[in-house]
């Protein structure tokens, strides 16, 4: 059953908002005119205060949102976070300031603020399997994420901020605007999201779905632009606009009551934007992000220097995450997905010398030797290792010394034939294999694919010892 807007009474057995039951209390707009002492200047300041509350009158329906591993695991957090009772207890303020001079020019400022008690407290998620089925990772399973709290629980923002003027060139009427405002050409059948209307104005769907009695000026999201409209005569009007800014439509945050899914928009992972989560043929879960916040290394972007602040680089002096190696069945299908859909280049491969069947594949979408590698394994979703890059041979020696100092067992300290890096493999306390390395191939768009055969496995894997430890082939997590 699909979720329905708040004016419906059959959404998952809940009654989200019932205006007739007096759960929406909207105070009349408090509008007053400010005396400027100048008859040509008119200034008004309008404030509207609104209180709304919503109750869920029935518990979670397992046919819609079961709390188990299954097809609903990616769409049920918004359901499971709310038991019977309040789903919203919200106070809204809309403030609007208009200043006009001789009715020919002026400016407008407006803003909104809100606070919802429900999203500033813990939620009702039961946290099955220790919370493993909850998509968020930045907060405990029974807490809303920071982004969800901010969007639904407490926020203030400017809406309109623009100047305008009305002119009369050659007896025609010309209206000009500049700043941040909303604009729609004509009416739209599908809630302003189709055709030209959809391109002109993004919408705050989080407010439209969850706050009853919202006016369209609260739902439409202003964007930075300039516009002009020239009325040539009573029958002909010309209009044009140029937008300097793009803003996305605002979806209900992950884990909120009206959220569409648990894996899109903000609210799931910190410093991450909207994402798409899916499973590849080897059984591994993948995430595609629309944006990621760059944390940086404290050096800045203007005259950055060469050394970050003391304490920024610690331990093994890791420069950055380089690649991941995963194993599972259906490797050929996963390889085709990355090559044909994601447009990765096959940089190197290990094949059976008799049939030419691929056993290991190494894909690159950058100048790295590879960004992801696949191996054949009978079990789905297995992890072989994650790899971190070092800057120099000196750092590589230093990392090895640290492992010796702290008693970290080294699985292999050698050199790869594949990718030609100097490497150290070791296991972290959780039992997962890690790699640190230095050097290696630089990948270019016209670099040829390199092929290794199983009869030279020792050279391909560890070119100095020519020995592959049994654990390296057999241990995955």
Q: Which residues are catalytic?
A: 323, 370, 385, 416, 425, 435
CA distance 399 to 381: 30
Which DSSP state fits 235?
Answer: S
Give dist(CA 14, CA 55) in Å, integer. 8
Neighbouring CB atoms inside 10 A of 298's CB total: 14
Contacts of 124 (CB under 8 A, 6+ apart): 80, 81, 82, 83, 142
Euclidean distance between CA atoms 324 and 474, whole angstroms: 17
Distances (CA, A) of 395 to 314, 318, 438: 11, 8, 8
Measured in whole angstroms, the distance separating CA 244 from the mean position of its chain's CA atoms is 23
CA distance 424 to 77: 41
- What is the spatial distance between Cα 182 and Cα 207, in angstroms, rounded to a whole number? 16
Class of residue 461 by CB neighbours under 10 A (exposed 0-12, middle 13-18, buried 19+):
buried
Q: Are 319 and 390 in contact (CB under 8 A)?
A: yes
Residue 373's CB is within 10 A of a number of other CB atoms, namely 25
* CA triple 466-467-468, angle to 5 deg: 125
- Spatial separation of the C-alpha atoms in residues 69 and 14, rounded to whole Å: 24
Residue that is written with structure tokens 């079961």 in the block: 66
Contacts of 317 (CB under 8 A, 6+ apart): 390, 391, 395, 398, 399
- Alpha-carbon distance of 312 to 390, in angstroms, equals 15
Kindly state the tokens that stand for 326: 């995963």
Both structure tokens of 409: 């067992």
d(CA 88, CA 73): 24
Q: Cα–Cα–Cα angle for 10, 12, 16, nearest 5°?
A: 65
Q: From CA 375, how far away is CA 424, in angstroms rounded? A: 20
User: How many DSSP H helices and E strands does the chain contain?
Assistant: 10, 20
């Amino acid at each position: 059953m699909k979720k329905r807007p708040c004016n419906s009474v059959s959404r998952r057995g809940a009654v989200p908002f019932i205006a007739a039951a007096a759960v929406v209390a909207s105070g009349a707009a408090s509008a007053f005119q400010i005396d400027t002492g100048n008859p040509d200047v008119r200034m008004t300041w309008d404030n509207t205060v609104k209180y709304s509350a919503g109750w869920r009158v029935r518990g979670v329906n397992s046919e819609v949102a079961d709390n188990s591993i299954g097809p609903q695991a990616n769409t049920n957090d918004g359901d499971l976070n709310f038991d019977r009772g309040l789903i919203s207890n919200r106070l809204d303020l809309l403030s609007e300031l208009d200043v006009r001079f001789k009715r020919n020019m002026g400016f407008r400022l407006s803003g909104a603020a809100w606070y919802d008690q429900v999203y500033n407290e813990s939620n009702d998620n039961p946290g099955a399997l220790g919370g493993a089925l909850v998509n968020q990772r930045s907060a405990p399973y029974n807490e809303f994420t920071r982004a969800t709290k901010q969007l639904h629980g407490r926020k203030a923002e400017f809406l309109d901020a623009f100047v305008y003027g009305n002119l009369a060139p050659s007896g025609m009427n010309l209206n000009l605007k500049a700043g941040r405002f909303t604009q729609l050409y004509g009416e739209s059948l599908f809630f302003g999201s189709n055709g030209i209307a959809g391109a002109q104005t993004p919408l705050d769907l989080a407010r439209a779905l969850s706050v009853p009695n919202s006016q369209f000026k609260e739902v439409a999201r202003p964007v930075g632009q300039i516009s002009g409209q020239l009325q040539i005569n009573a029958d002909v009007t010309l209009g044009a606009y140029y937008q300097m800014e793009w803003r996305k439509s605002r979806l209900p945050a992950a884990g909120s009551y009206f959220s569409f899914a648990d894996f899109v928009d903000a609210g799931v992972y910190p410093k991450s934007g909207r994402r798409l989560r899916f499973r590849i043929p080897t059984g591994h879960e993948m995430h595609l992000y629309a944006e990621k916040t760059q944390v940086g290394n404290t050096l800045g972007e203007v005259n950055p220097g060469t050394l970050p602040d003391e304490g920024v680089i610690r331990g093994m002096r890791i420069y950055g995450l380089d690649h991941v190696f995963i194993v599972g069945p259906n490797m050929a299908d996963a390889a085709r997905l990355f090559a044909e859909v994601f447009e990765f280049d096959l940089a190197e491969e290990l094949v059976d010398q008799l049939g030419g069947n691929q056993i290991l594949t190494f894909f690159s979408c950058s100048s790295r030797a590879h960004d992801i590698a696949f191996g054949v394994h009978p079990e789905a979703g297995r992890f072989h290792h994650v790899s971190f890059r070092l800057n120099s041979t000196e750092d590589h020696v230093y990392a090895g010394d640290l492992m010796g100092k702290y008693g970290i067992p080294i699985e292999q300290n050698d050199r790869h034939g594949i990718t030609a890096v100097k490497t150290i493999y070791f296991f972290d306390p959780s039992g997962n294999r890690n790699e640190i390395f230095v050097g290696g191939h630089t990948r270019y768009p016209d670099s040829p694919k390199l092929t290794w055969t199983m009869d030279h496995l020792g050279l391909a894997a560890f070119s100095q010892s020519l020995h592959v430890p049994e654990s390296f082939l057999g241990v995955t997590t």
